[in-house]
Structure 1
Amino acid sequence: MPEAARVVRARPLSPHLQIWRWHITMACSILHRASIFAIYFGLLLLSAWTLSLAAGPQAYLTYIGVVGSPLGLLILFGVSVMLFFNLAYNIRQAFWDMGKGFELKIADATSWACIAFALVAAVVLWAGLIIAGAFQ
């Protein structure tokens, strides 16, 4: 019995970033993944702080010197922005789990709201720290 001729069909290609139109919900998804890494990094900084406390006054002063440098403060500010972003994104995700907020305009607006909240909350936090004299 002869074999039937196989028909090779063209398979659809997966969408790629070069053909996708960039949109804010995509950026929010990427930022959410980045925020998880930033929070892990923040936990490493917190662990280093506790280890420096346990290691003695000289180690603690060295740690405070590194973290209190302009680069260290910038990193801490970035971690706080990502922490606030993760908080806002997870609240948004909770509404998605309830089946709400999937409409395009609402999804875009909540994406912008997450980013805006993260930036404003971090600036307010750091302004409060500066006013309270935390960096003297």
Structure 2
Amino acid sequence: MQTHWFYTVWPFIGVGGAIVMVAILLTTDTFRDNTTVSRWRDPVWLAWLAVPLYWVHQFEEYSLPVLGFDYSIQQMICKKLGFPPYPDCPIPLSFYPVVNIALMWFGAPLAAYLCGRNVLIGLSFWGLLLSPP
């Protein structure tokens, strides 16, 4: 199945950003709200930690075919919804990066940013990380 290069590359961009962000999270106080407690007890820092961890999760889900593994989350989703496999599946391939990038590259950082005002919003993305498939 021939696809645009971006469908292959976007998870690798995310994991690159995750590596940088985890390094910043662990070595600086940039994303901390309360430096008088351990970063592991700071809800704002924990909210920011969910962002790169989900980027790693996206990499794990969407890069496996590129790395040579016989796994395609797009095919699995079509099958679970009762649709035929690609190229006949009615879900466009653009759906996956658009939803994942919008939700996790913009929505998750926005929720983490808002965590200082509303902890529930800030930590909400942990629900996506920890929910069963």
Fold conserved between structures, TM > 0.5: no
Q: TM-score, normalised by structure 2?
A: 0.41
* Structure label with greater radius of gyration: 1
More helix by share: 1
